[in-house]
Amino acid sequence: MHASLFITCYNDTLFPETGRAVVKLLERLGVDLDFQPQQTCCGQMHANTGFRGEAFSQAKRFVHLYRDAENVVIPSASCVAMIRDQYYGLFEDLGNDSLRNEFAALLPRIYELSEFLIDRLKVEDVGAWFPHRVVYHASCHGLRALRLDDRPYRLLSKVRGLTQLPLPNLDRCCGFGGTFSIKNADVSSAMLATKLQDIVSTGADYCAALDNSCLMHLGGAMHRQSLGMKTIHLAEILASTESSPMETVR
C-alpha cells in the first residue's frame, strides 16, 4: 500500500522525531511512503484565529498537493479535524466547483495515524515494545471531532511491556487551543494546571497523545515544574521495538 505523509508544519519544525517514528512504523508495516517537501501548513492556526482568507489559501495548497495521493496519513488529530470540519466551509465560501470536487474526492483518503492503522491497514498489534507506564490524553480533536473512540487504546493494549493507566476527566480540555494559549494565557494556564493534576495523579512515566500541540503545552509545564513525567506522541511508542527502542529526546 502507498501513503503520502503530511507531517504538519508543527511536527516538521518542533517534533521531527514524531515524523521519523511514523516513517519507521509504517515502513515496518510494509507501507510504501512518500513525502512531498512542498508541504507547509493545513491552515488550522489561521482558520481558528479568524484569518479565513489566509486559511483558504493554505487549504487550497493542501488539496492541490495531495489530490493524486492514494492515502494521506497525518500524525495530528487537530490537523485532520481542520481538514474534515473546516475545508468544506472555506471552499464553499471562497472556492470554486473544481476545488470543491477535488476536495470531496480527496477527503475519504485522508487518515489520522490511528485511523490509518486500524481502519485502513486493519492492524492493532504493530509489533511494538515499550516497557513503561503510559497515560493516554485523548485530545479534544481526537475525542470529539474525529471520534477516534477506542482506537488509541486498542493500539496501546497490544504494545508489549506497556501498562495503560486510566486518566480521570479524560474528556476535559488541556487548555492549549492554539492561539488561545497566547490570547488567553492566564485562563489557558489555569486549565493546564487542572489537567496536569489529573495526569500526574495517575503516576505514569509518560503522557501520550495523538496531538503534539497538547503535548507541547503539557510537556512544557511538566518541565517547568520538574514533574519527572514525560510526553510522547503515540507514533513514537508504536515505532519502538525491543531491537530498536524509541529515541529519547523530550
Partner 1 sequence: MSLAAQSRSASPHPNLDPATAPPFPQAALSILQDTQLRRNVAHATDVIQANRAKRVAEKTDWLQLRDAASAIRNHALENMAAYLEQFETRCTAAGGVVHWASDAAEARQIILNLLHEENAPEVIKIKTMTSAEIQLNPFLQTAGVNVFETDLAEIILQLGNEEPSHIVVPALHINRSQVRDIFARSMHLDDLSDDPHALTAAARSYLRQKFLTIPTAISGANFLIAETGAVVVVESEGNGRMCLTLPRAMITLAGIEKILPRYSDLEVMLQVLARSATGERMNPYTSLWTGVTPNDGPRRFHVVLLDNGRSSILSRPTERQTLKCIRCAACINACPVYRQTGGHAYGSIYPGPIGAILTPQLEQMRHAQSLPYASSLCSACYEVCPVKINIPEVLIELRAQVVDQDRRRVKRLFDPMFVGMKIANFVFQVPWRFHLAQRLGRTAARVFTRSDGWIHSLPGLGAKWTQTRDLRGLPNQTFHEWWAARAQQPKRAKDPMRAKEPQ
Residues 143 to 182 in contact with partner 1, rule: CB under 8 A:
144-145, 171-173, 175-182
The nearest distance, CB 16 to partner 1, in angstroms, is: 4
Q: Where are the alpha helices (DSSP H) in the chain?
A: 9-14, 16-28, 44-49, 52-66, 77-94, 97-106, 113-115, 140, 151-157, 180-183, 185-201, 212-224, 234-239
Of 71, 1, 13, nearest to 216 by C-alpha is: 13
Residue from 6, 24, 115, 135 binding partner 1 (CB under 8 A): 24
CB atoms within 10 A of CB 155: 24
Near partner 1 by CB under 8 A, which window of 23-31, 103-111, 124-132, 201-209?
Answer: 23-31
Q: Does 236 bind partner 1 (CB under 8 A)?
A: no
What is d(CA 145, CA 85) in angstroms, rounded to the nearest whole number? 8
What is d(CA 76, CA 80) in angstroms, rounded to the nearest whole number? 7
Residue from 3, 4, 6, 21 binding partner 1 (CB under 8 A): 21
The nearest distance, CB 132 to partner 1, in angstroms, is: 17
Residues 41 to 70 in contact with partner 1, rule: CB under 8 A:
41, 43, 45-52, 54, 57-58, 61
Q: Does 37 bind partner 1 (CB under 8 A)?
A: yes
Near partner 1 by CB under 8 A, which window of 97-105, 119-127, 149-157, 211-219?
Answer: 211-219
Instruction: Answer whether 127's CB lies under 8 Å from 25's CB.
Output: no
Distances (CA, A) of 178 to 71, 136, 212: 27, 20, 11
The one-letter amino acid code at 63 reads: V
Residue from 3, 4, 6, 19 binding partner 1 (CB under 8 A): 19
Three-class secondary structure of residue 35 per DSSP: strand
The nearest distance, CB 231 to partner 1, in angstroms, is: 10
Residue 173 CB partners (closer than 8 Å, separation 6+): 140, 191, 195
Query: Which is nearer to partner 1, 53 or 157 (by Cβ)?
Result: 53
The nearest distance, CB 1 to partner 1, in angstroms, is: 18
Near partner 1 by CB under 8 A, which window of 35-43, 97-105, 106-114, 127-135?
Answer: 35-43
What is d(CA 57, CA 79) in angstroms, rounded to the nearest whole number? 15
> How many residues make up the chain in this entry?
250
The nearest distance, CB 158 to partner 1, in angstroms, is: 21
Residues 104 to 133 in contact with partner 1, rule: CB under 8 A:
none
Query: Which is nearer to partner 1, 85 or 205 (by Cβ)?
Result: 85
Residue from 86, 102, 111, 162 binding partner 1 (CB under 8 A): 86
The cell numbers describing 51, all together, are 484569518
Q: Does 96 bind partner 1 (CB under 8 A)?
A: no
